[in-house]
Amino acid sequence: MNGAGWTLTILGVIAASAALIAAGLAVGRLGILGGVFGAHLARCFKQIGREFVHFIGAMAVALLLLPIALARMVLLKPAAAREALQSSGRELRNAFIALYALLVVQPLRLLGLRAVLSYIESRLPAAMTGTDATLDHQNGSPRSARAEFVGYTVLRELQRGGSGARLYVCEPDARTRIKIGIADGYVVIKSFDFDDGTRLAEILRESRSLDAARKLGLVLDHDSSERRFHYVMRYYEGLDLGKFTRRLHETAGADGLDRERLVMVTALVRDLVATLRDWHAAGLWHKDVKPENVIVLDGRATLIDLGLVTPLASQMTLTTHGTEYFRDPELVREALRGARVSEVDAARFDIYGAGAVLHFVLEGTFPAHGVLSGFRKPSPESLRWIARRAMADFQRRYASAEEMLRDLDSAIAGGDPSAVRPADLPSMAQQRADDAQIEQIAAISAAAEAAPLSPPISPPPSFPLPSSPPPPPDSRTNERLRIRVTDWWRGTYEMVSVRPLPAAIPAQQKRGIGPPLAVLVAALFALAVIAVIWAWLGASIAT
């Protein structure tokens, strides 16, 4: 290689280095690597890990249920064996769904092709059935196959509830997260659309529930238009208490749950009752307490579904909405009588539902005959007594969720509910104390009536006490109060003072990228010139 070749090579290396440095400066100024791309990678790998865990767990449960089904067949229990096989099939289906997400969905999402995948998933079933999911045949106008909400990316649609609303799992963008006050996780949007057959009465009922639920901070955002109304809640991904309990009983057999599992499911019911206590204290009635409305995640239970939430002071007439076997028969009788919500202690209807849920977790089946439903499987008598009292006649059941909560805490505090007798529960001790107090008051009254009258004793002279100085002025009087929810869905919150937020989020000062781009363009131009000269020089040497 001659001197000209070496010179061109050195110049090429310098130009290439300058191009790389300039590109790095431009990318760094734009914040692409540190911001968007890094967050995207973190979300994708987190979801990949979650799908992998789901696949392994579902496959393990499916394989474990197969020998259980075989053993039940040997023991001549075909019904129980069939249930185990069906559960194994469901777990296999969940495993294949997780595998599909692991091998197809998440890699495409990692490459930024989520929109393509969403289009294929929405259009392929319609193409196979010969229908067009993007066309509204009632009015002939095109309509998006996937709902869109400003500030949210729709990930998937959940199964519809009884109200007919559509439920979407969504991911808020960065600006929306600041607005609704959550740093991570997904949200669920409940949408009512007139074009989907939603009736005005359903929207009005839901709007009343929305106004009540906002008191506990359960609703993060809401919006409405001429044809649609929706609101946003925190999304909790987990098993509902119904599926969770059935799986426990399927593996436990006819002997019922062991002590450890009894304490675990009772603690979940305890979380439910604690949530009801907070809701009742805030003046709200859930109205649809059932296992399917309780989500189990990380060993805790979360009450969901705000569709029927009603203020306890409402002047509306009682309705029979709710779920059979977990709905209080007294509610049906009062509704037929035409009673208003404010005329009855509606919180006791929720207590009945909590008692029915406790019966369900102990037995693995719903209480078909209400309070008369028997217990077939072995379980602690103290827990049976709590369930029976919660489902007792309206005036004989627990007066409040707080009273039921104390009994549940007492039953599981020592780790062995079987060691606790019903007579040892706090509500029974309180009843005995109340009876003793009534007897004492009656005895004092009888003694006072029998004693002779005595002249009244004049009270001692009183002297004015020095008045305490007024409290110092609160430096936060110009600040506004805000409810900060400390535990979503359980409804625990605290009042904090915060300064009003600015009307708009101040824009971050942008750093100019002009110089790096100029260096990049110049370096690329130099590379092109060097390449042309190098090619010309090579052709000249060859000739």
Give me the pLDDT at residue 350, please: 96
**How far apart are the C-alpha atoms of 166 and 424, rounded to whole Å?**
47
CB atoms within 10 A of CB 98: 21
Stretch 47-56: mean pLDDT: 80
Q: What is the pLDDT of residues 178-233, one digit of tens each?
A: 998 888 889 999 888 766 665 666 666 666 667 667 767 788 888 877 778 888 99
Give me the pLDDT at residue 507, please: 42
Give me the pLDDT at residue 529, please: 76
% of the chain residues with pLDDT over 70: 64
Provide the 8-state DSSP code for 194.
Answer: G
| Residue 437 pLDDT grade (very low, low, confident, very high; cuts 50, 70, 90) | low
Provide the 8-state DSSP code for 145.
Answer: S
Phi and psi, residue 152, nearest 5°: -130, 145
Q: Residue 355 belongs to what H/E stretch?
A: helix 347-363
**How far apart are the C-alpha atoms of 311 and 214, rounded to whole Å?**
12
Q: Is the per-residue pLDDT at 496 higher than 70? A: no
Q: What is the pTM of this model?
A: 0.55
**How far apart are the C-alpha atoms of 46 and 76, rounded to whole Å?**
45
Nearest to 188, CA basis, from 512, 515, 420, 488: 488
Q: What is the pLDDT of residues 97-154, one digit of tens each?
A: 888 877 887 787 777 676 666 666 555 554 544 444 443 333 333 334 457 888 999 9
Provide the 8-state DSSP code for 326.
Answer: T
8 A C-beta contact, residue 288 and residue 323:
yes
Q: Residue 449 belongs to what H/E stretch?
A: helix 426-450
8 A C-beta contact, residue 161 and residue 192:
no
Nearest to 170, CA basis, from 184, 156, 158: 156
- In what order do the strands lie in the sheet containing 239-240? 239-240, 294-297, 300-303
% of the chain residues with pLDDT over 90: 29
**How far apart are the C-alpha atoms of 540 and 537, rounded to whole Å?**
5
**How far apart are the C-alpha atoms of 504 and 482, rounded to whole Å?**
19
